[in-house]
A = this chain, B = another copy of it.
């Protein structure tokens, strides 16, 4: 902690506010997501984000938001508005609000000139604005862009102000350093936020709540309390447990034991206790077993294979498959007998079974999955309403799994739940 220039200040940073600057963030298209990353890094250090705001490139309003945030909170992080043009006002507004002069930092000018020179260009004069820093501010080098970040410590009040460029690939490594070894790490309190999670599928939120609430309810009364949040989305219910404590080892032990209690109660509905999404869990199981997977998709149109191949290295376990969207292709690509489709309809257990059989014959993959259903909004009938999806799964050495599901929601929700359920069927068969 030596040589930080902060020796006089001892109170830890407890509260923070985040201000995203940029008129483009006040429209109907873009949304500030940097604050999620910043919040996560601060939470791990026990620093709570108490408020966040978005302001346009508007000096008066930004000044008002900034002064109010600094009044209320120990740490204020501003993102965006550090570019070279006249509507990039963050540097000037912060300097003015803190009554600091803006001075050119020759080292920053040199770095920016060098960045341009490496591409054989002369630095445009306008970029000199990016080297103007409030007196006493520390420049945070930006390996991925021209705008340096700035760190200002208000020693009298023990407050910290951080200015970061808006692009996530510039902001994230810069803020990460401050939280790993930099001033924010040094000024964080001894209390840390600890967290564990459990992800489940194939159960409703109320069903999970019914089992889990009697268990986690009393933990909220303990000292320090374990707080539990349930996040429900179609096809996935997540339980997040958090605990603030100065004793990391004890906190971790308590959370892990709490997680075990919940995992035992929820049984095999739990697919992940380490934050991995379901397609990643299945991918890891396949990789460990040196097995390959193939899919024959109709209503999901390739979404299952897209999810499985989202992950780097997926060629180790994804063979590929077929999108048999039309009935003609169910026959041409998978050898499904057209008379079977005529007799039972494309969304039926016999057709799903024939799809997965035809797929296995063609791919020789260890795991073969078929999905056929009605994603909507059109195509439903009283007997087979929108949301009806038949899933077949063949895992080497096990009997065929074949089941008809009815998923609620719109087209996107039905398609996602169909892939989620197919993945969960494979997970259970591989277990």
What residues make up the interface of A, taking CB atoms closer than 8 Å to B?
Answer: 24, 26-31, 33, 36-37, 39-40, 43, 48-56, 58, 61, 64-65, 68, 72, 229, 231, 240, 292, 294-295, 297-306, 308-310, 312-315, 318-326, 328-329, 332-333, 362-364, 376-379, 411-412, 415
Contact = CB atoms under 8 A, between A and B. Distances in A.
Nearest to A41: B28
Contacts of A324: 320
21 contacts: A28-B36, A31-B33, A31-B36, A51-B54, A53-B53, A53-B54, A61-B72, A294-B329, A300-B309, A301-B309, A301-B314, A305-B323, A306-B306, A313-B378, A315-B326, A318-B326, A320-B322, A321-B329, A322-B322, A328-B364, A332-B363
Contacts of A49: 26
A51 B40 contact: no
Given A298-B320, A310-B415, A319-B325, 11 more contacts: A27-B39, A28-B36, A31-B31, A50-B58, A51-B56, A301-B318, A310-B411, A320-B323, A321-B323, A323-B323, A332-B363
A234 to B, nearest CB: 12
B322 A323 contact: yes
B312 A376 contact: yes
Nearest to A37: B28
> Mostly helix, strand, loop or mixed at chain A's interface?
mixed
A319 B329 CA distance: 7
A294 B333 CA distance: 12
A320 B315 contact: no
A325 B315 contact: yes
User: Which of A40, A322, A325, A412 has the most C-beta atoms of chain B within 10 angstroms of its own C-beta?
Assistant: A325
A362 B332 contact: yes
Nearest to A71: B64
B39 A26 contact: yes
A376 B329 CA distance: 31
A64 B54 contact: no
A299 B324 CA distance: 19
User: Which of A30, A333, A376 has the most C-beta atoms of chain B within 10 angstroms of its own C-beta?
Assistant: A333
Contacts of A303: 302, 306
Nearest to A309: B301
B328 A319 contact: yes
Contacts of A68: 64-65, 68
Nearest to A29: B231
Nearest to A412: B310
Contact of A333 (B43, B300, B312, B322): B322
Given A319-B328, A322-B323, A26 B53 contact: no
A414 to B, nearest CB: 11
Contacts of A36: 28-29, 31
Contacts of A292: 326
A329 B363 contact: yes
Contacts of A40: 28
A423 B176 CA distance: 38
A332 to B, nearest CB: 6
Contacts of A333: 320, 322, 333, 362-363
A129 B298 CA distance: 47
A13 to B, nearest CB: 16
Contacts of A377: 312
B319 A309 contact: no
User: Which of A298, A309, A312, A412 has the most C-beta atoms of chain B within 10 angstroms of its own C-beta?
Assistant: A309
Contacts of A323: 295, 302, 305, 309, 320-323
Contacts of A411: 310, 312
B231 A30 contact: yes
A26 B50 CA distance: 7
A43 B176 CA distance: 36
B308 A301 contact: yes
Contacts of A309: 299-302, 323, 325
Which 7 residue pairs of A and B lie closest in terms of their CB atoms, listed nearest first?
Answer: A301-B309, A302-B302, A302-B305, A320-B325, A320-B329, A28-B40, A320-B323
